[in-house]
């Protein structure tokens, strides 16, 4: 899918040929998206934020955690244990047992609704309290208390298991957004893609308002019209495109909603209807995990427009590959040196600053 243009696609060609990943395909590309990036600068030199923003974050797709299953996961620079009890509820705690420090996510088992430690079989609930010690009549009072090990607020929404993160341990400040089309009859199941991008989360958020990079990184030959709306914890970006198709020029629209720093929802309309649900979470100070899940109306993927539906997903995924190449090696500039024609970096940074517990004043004004 390409935008209408009067210019030759020379920039697109230049972009494609200068990026190593443009030569990758299939499984090689899937591996490249998640592979460790060697020899990257340290986070201080790269001026990456040391605090993770508060919010609801996807740590696993709901259908990738069965009843009775335990998974080790790492987000927010912490090792976590994720399991689903026999009651069907997902639970998340810190991975390390308060008794003697075993990593319970490795070799532990799910016992009913509780996580049983592999070392001495203490059994923990999702609120971080110890409920049973099979060889002892008395549970120490400290271990009985919720939060003896970190217990994480968990909500399942939009086919994802979301946890609430706050750098100072405050309870959830808002409810996660539920996206209406996900899981409804007449829509496909998720088509999933994932990346590790070696940067701080806020740089990913900046990327969405960086309108001039669409030409130089993604090879767009015109800059579409944009509308930006910042409202509380939500940010809405609407772009209007002219789409060149065999049936002539069609007006396309992309509506992108982020709800806090972790939840994203994009609706593509015009050529083909597509919903993209994104979940992006920090792993380390210089590492993020981005999950893209596409769903489309069955009538489109099985009908005559199936090719278009597929091409749209391919194009969006290619764009994210291109962003990764830049962001993996990027150094955050604070404040950025902006010019007329840039997107609303300033407004975006004001918006984003609300998610840091230790308030950080924004440092950049937009050029209007
Ligand atoms: S270290 Fe977990 S039960 Fe002893
Ligand atoms: Fe981009």
In the predicted structure, residue 368 carries a pLDDT above the cut 80: no
- Do residues 192 and 132 share a domain? no
Task: Identify whether 227 is part of a domain.
Answer: yes
Q: Is 119 in the pocket of ligand 1 (CB under 6 A)?
A: yes
| Structural domains counted in the chain | 2
pLDDT recorded at residue 240: 86
pLDDT recorded at residue 20: 67
Q: How confident is the model at residue 24 (pLDDT cuts 50, 70, 90)?
A: confident
Mean pLDDT of the residues in the chain: 90
In the predicted structure, residue 1 carries a pLDDT above the cut 70: no
pLDDT recorded at residue 15: 52
- Do residues 195 and 231 share a domain? yes
Q: Is 226 in the pocket of ligand 1 (CB under 6 A)?
A: no
Q: Phi/psi at 131 (nearest 5 deg)?
A: -105, -30
In the predicted structure, residue 14 carries a pLDDT above the cut 70: no
Task: Identify whether 364 is part of a domain.
Answer: no
- Do residues 304 and 339 share a domain? yes
**Is pLDDT larger for residue 16 or for residue 166?**
166
What would the DSSP string read from start to end of 143-205?
HHSTTSS-EE-EEEETTEEEEEE-TT-PPPSSPPPPPTTTT-TTBPPPEEEEEEE-S-HHHHH
Task: Identify whether 359 is part of a domain.
Answer: no
- Do residues 207 and 265 share a domain? yes
CATH number at residue 201: 3.90.380.10
Q: Which ligand is the nearest neighbour of the Cα of 207?
A: 2
Average pLDDT value for residue range 290-311:
90
Q: Which ligand is the nearest neighbour of the Cα of 204?
A: 2
Instruction: Kindly report whether the global pTM for this prediction surpasses the value 0.95.
Output: no
Maximum mean pLDDT: which of 6-10, 67-71, 182-186: 67-71
In the predicted structure, residue 264 carries a pLDDT above the cut 70: yes
Residues near ligand 2 ion, CB 5 Å cutoff: 207, 323
- Do residues 212 and 349 share a domain? yes
E strands, the chain, in order:
55-61, 70-75, 78-84, 90-94, 109-111, 114-116, 123-124, 130-132, 151-152, 154-157, 160-165, 191-197, 225-231, 234-245, 248-259, 263-269, 274-284, 287-295
Q: Which atom of ligand 1 is nearest to the CA of 118?
A: 2
State the distance from the centre of ligand 1 to the C-alpha of 115, rounded, in angstroms. Answer: 11
| Burial of 203 per CB tally in 10 Å (0-12, 13-18, 19+) | buried
Q: How confident is the model at residue 78 (pLDDT cuts 50, 70, 90)?
A: very high
- Do residues 147 and 182 share a domain? no
Task: Identify whether 277 is part of a domain.
Answer: yes
**pLDDT digit string, tens, across residues 215-253:** 888 877 777 789 999 999 999 999 987 766 667 777 788
Task: Identify whether 51 is part of a domain.
Answer: no
Task: Identify whether 44 is part of a domain.
Answer: no
Task: Identify whether 253 is part of a domain.
Answer: yes
- Do residues 16 and 73 share a domain? no
- Do residues 27 and 150 share a domain? no
- Do residues 70 and 201 share a domain? no
- Do residues 149 and 219 share a domain? no
Nearest CA to ligand 1 atom 1: 100
Domain that holds residue 332: 10-36+178-353
State the distance from the centre of ligand 2 to the C-alpha of 142, rounded, in angstroms. Answer: 48
Nearest CA to ligand 1 atom 3: 120
Nearest CA to ligand 1 atom 4: 120
Q: Is 102 in the pocket of ligand 1 (CB under 6 A)?
A: yes
- Do residues 215 and 275 share a domain? yes
In the predicted structure, residue 286 carries a pLDDT above the cut 80: yes
Q: How many CB atoms lie within 10 A of CB 309?
A: 23
- Do residues 112 and 22 share a domain? no
CATH number at residue 87: 2.102.10.10
């Amino acid at each position: 899918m390409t935008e209408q243009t009067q210019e030759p696609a020379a920039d697109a060609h230049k972009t494609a040929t200068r990026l190593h990943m443009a030569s990758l395909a299939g499984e090689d590309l899937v591996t490249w998206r998640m592979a460790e990036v060697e020899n990257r600068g340290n986070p201080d030199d790269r001026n990456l934020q040391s605090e993770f923003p508060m919010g609801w974050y996807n740590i696993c797709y709901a259908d990738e955690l069965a009843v009775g299953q335990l998974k080790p996961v790492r987000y927010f620079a912490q090792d976590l244990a994720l399991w689903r009890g026999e009651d069907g509820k997902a639970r998340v705690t810190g991975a390390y047992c308060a008794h003697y420090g075993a990593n319970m996510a490795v070799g532990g088992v799910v016992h009913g609704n509780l996580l049983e430690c592999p070392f001495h079989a203490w059994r923990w609930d999702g609120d971080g309290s110890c409920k049973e010690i099979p060889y002892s009549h008395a549970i120490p009072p400290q271990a009985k208390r919720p939060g003896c090990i970190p217990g994480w607020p968990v909500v399942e929404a939009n086919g994802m298991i979301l946890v609430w993160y706050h750098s100072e341990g405050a309870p959830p400040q808002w409810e996660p957004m539920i996206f209406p089309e996900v899981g409804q009859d007449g829509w496909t199941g998720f088509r999933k893609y994932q990346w590790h991008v070696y940067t701080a989360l806020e740089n990913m958020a900046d990327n969405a308002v960086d309108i001039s990079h669409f030409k130089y990184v993604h090879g767009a030959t015109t800059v579409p019209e944009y509308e930006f709306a910042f409202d509380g914890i939500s940010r809405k970006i609407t772009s209007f495109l002219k789409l060149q198709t065999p049936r002539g020029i069609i007006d396309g629209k992309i509506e992108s909603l982020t709800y806090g720093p972790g939840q994203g929802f994009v609706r593509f309309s015009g050529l083909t209807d597509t919903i993209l649900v994104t979940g992006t979470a920090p792993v380390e100070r210089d590492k993020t995990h981005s999950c893209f899940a596409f769903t489309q109306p069955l009538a489109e993927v099985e009908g005559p427009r199936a090719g278009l539906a597929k091409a749209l997903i391919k194009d969006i995924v290619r764009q994210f590959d291109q962003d990764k190449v830049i962001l993996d090696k990027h150094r955050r500039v604070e404040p950025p040196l902006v010019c007329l024609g840039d997107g609303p970096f300033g407004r975006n940074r004001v918006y984003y600053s609300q998610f840091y517990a230790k308030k950080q004043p924004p440092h950049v004004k937009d050029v209007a």
